[in-house]
Structure 1
Amino acid sequence: MTRFRPCIDLHAGQVKQIVGGTLDSSTSALKTNYVSKHPAGYYAELYRENALEGAHVIMLGPGNDEAAREALAAWPGHLQVGGGINDKNAALWIDNGASKVIITSFLFPDGKFSQERLDALLAALGGDKDKLVIDLSCRRRGDDRWFVAMNKWQTITDTEVTEDNEGLQRGVDEKLVEKLAVWCSIPVTYAGGGRNLNDLELVKRLSNGRVDLTIGSALDCFGGTGVSFDDCVKWNTEQTR
């Protein structure tokens, strides 16, 4: 069944909501929707209290390790962590309390997918595929082609997922959600562009309940006005009835 999945996005040690496509090396180009007064652990506790499994903690650049560890300590074994993960530190993050590690850029050296790196990562995790999430952040090319984007959405790889709406609240990419429901035989979460409860219903309908949705900037707990966190929790509860 389709579920709402929450997030904790970290930038410079703070919980923020950022327009993903502006995360380049130029600070002046960075567009921030929201900077929280609460630490990462606050949101982890909030998700724990509401039994919201599958939340991801994403470290956007350097200076976020401490905040990420704080979140993981607040709800060990229940949060996924990503951002700068590789075969050398993946097991360490699991030891620090992550339920899974999330990988993108490490798998695409020079913009090309590396099976060797994927194998090395799995080996570092003891061969446990359930501890690995592959983040296929992507940009649309043409009417119905999507290519994996890495390095904070700045580099388009040669790997086709066969429009990055992150942080813009422009709605979900309906074609991509439909394709994901057909292509994927494992759990998958669509993140980017979610605006309200109607988008949860939309993803549920388009995917026949096979794709989950993360909503970030539109949530009231992140300064948004599109949907309340409590309503998302209620929506999840109703899906199990």
Structure 2
Amino acid sequence: MDKHFLDLVHGVKQDFTGWDFTSMTGTGRIDSGLLSWSYGSLAIPLVRSASTLLDMGTGGGEILSMLGPLPDQVYATESYAPNVPVARQRLEPLGVKVIQIELGQDSDLPFADKQFDLILNKHEIYCPAEMSRIITDDGIFLTQQSGGQDCRELNEYFGVPLNEEFSGWNLDRAVEGLRANGFDIVMGKEEFIPQRFYDIGSLIYYLNATPWQVPGFEKNLYLEKLYEIHRIIGDKGYFETTQHRFIIKARLA
């Protein structure tokens, strides 16, 4: 194994908080194809007209903080404990109440019936029945999701199967669940786009930040596979995977 490979492997920051990939995407170390929609562009006019807003799975509050001006009543949830203080530091000065929830608590959220007229959700698990309970009549639910086939090439390469529970998660399944709980679908789109990693350090960074992709990932356990990918990058210039994304805008009927 060459020194350049080992330097990249051991130079990766292990801790990851918030949901900010700027150090990778901003420098071009990770890049992906373009979707035919923009989550932010869809969210902004909805935020402008909302009076009560919930942002589910806010991460470190990066996206929500850029959608202002925000309504007077805004809540954000986050289940990954290291993200909570990051989100609070960023969002509380903006008037947002950040609530830590337990992983898997999506079907029992600590909110009143019909509390929100807008719910935003980017890449966060949700329970359709709970969305129906806490959203107002005629309220809007906007969600962008990572589909169950997201970056499946990584799982194939590392010999780790996709999560059986979520491998069938797609637009049709999500639409079916929402319609069964009283929502009309205003918009729904699903796309598969390329994602490229231009050095092995960026791939390790990504796998550290997305522990559900390759559960139990430790760079030292997969050193040989990582070196094989490093050599692919050396030959082709990149290692390519496929992102699976879909978006739904739904209104409670």
TM-score, normalising length: structure 2: 0.33
Identify which of structures 1 and 2 has the higher relative contact order when contacts are C-alpha pairs closer than 8 Å and 6+ apart.
2
Point out the structure with max Rg over C-alpha: 2
TM-score, normalising length: structure 1: 0.34
